[in-house]
Structure 1
Amino acid sequence: MKIIGLDVGSKTIGVAVSDPLGLTAQGLTTIRWDEQDIYSADEQIKKIIDEQAIGKAVIGLPKHMNGSIGERGEASEAYAKHVEEVHGIPVVLWDERLSTAAAERVLLEADMSRQKRKKVIDKMAAVMILQSYLDQDKYKGV
């Protein structure tokens, strides 16, 4: 079963998908959306779920460093509930603290220009979120 990873922002949603075995995450795309219209990305998300045979979603949950959940975290929780209801797949909220910073660091190390980084940062953050979930899942019970 493939898993979709989503980094949900106010203007874009970074998308990553796992391989069928759930070992690796690959960046797929960045979807532009209007957070004020929670339905605005549904068509694109549905297309990916159908084409990739997705069975589960992992959505980044931004937390403050002290572990509390603020406005962005509440928005992610609302979107996770929406994805479950509209697309009919289970959703896991995954702590994404520092995922965007880690993605930025990787892209800087790759010597990518600021303009190019801006285009792929959300997709890369989705990869980081999904990969950390997959890594944790692999070692459960070890």
Structure 2
Amino acid sequence: MALSDATGMLASPLETIRRAKDQRDLDHLAELVVTHEVVEVVVGLPKHLSGASGASARDASAYAEALASRIGNVPVHLVDERLSTVTAAGHLRAGGIDARRQRSVIDQAAAVVILQSHLDERRRTGPDLRGRHS
């Protein structure tokens, strides 16, 4: 999971949350939305390189819907996450961090890439939503 600063300019890693069969992860995410006064949630949509959606994309959509049902009127957006893990691993390597055996570090870095790309796109094309994004 990543979180933006209050201005919506910069994404930073927050923590790694593992999915749980009993949906504790969704409850925890909902708590974080309240705690950090999140104004918008971004969920990565794992599309194929061709742009087609598969089973993972359907799972992500269902997850986003389940989260949305827990966080009231905070909007939840699905964002294309193609190559986010590759980009994150490259950024980590460039920073001298070998994260190959640390999946949580790569996951957090990928969350930062996904959120940062959404924030950058928002600044280029959309409304200015001040406040934290997750």
TM-score bracket, shorter-length normalisation: 0.7 to 0.9
Root-mean-square deviation (CA), in Å?
Answer: 1.6
- Which residue of the partner structure matches residue 22 of structure 1? 8
- Which residue of the partner structure matches residue 121 of structure 1? 106
CA apart distance, 1:116: 6.0
Question: What are the equivalent positions in structure 2 for 1:80-119 lying under 5 Å apart?
Answer: 80-88=64-72, 89-114=74-99, 117-119=102-104
**1:66 pairs with one of 35, 50, 55:** 50
CA apart distance, 1:50: 1.4
Identity %: 37
- Where relative contact order (Cα < 8 A, 6+ residues apart) is larger, the structure is 2
- TM normalised by structure 1 equals 0.81
- TM normalised by structure 2 equals 0.85
Gapped runs of 5+ residues in structure 1?
1-14
**For each residue in 1:91-131, what CA deviation from the matched residue of structure 2 results, as whole angstroms up to 9, or x when unmatched?**
11001100011001111122223466433111111100000
Gapped runs of 5+ residues in structure 2?
127-134
| In structure 1, C-alpha distance between the alignment counterparts of 2:108 and 2:99, rounded to whole Å | 15
Does the Cα contact within 8 Å between 1:61 and 1:93 map onto a contact in 2?
Answer: yes
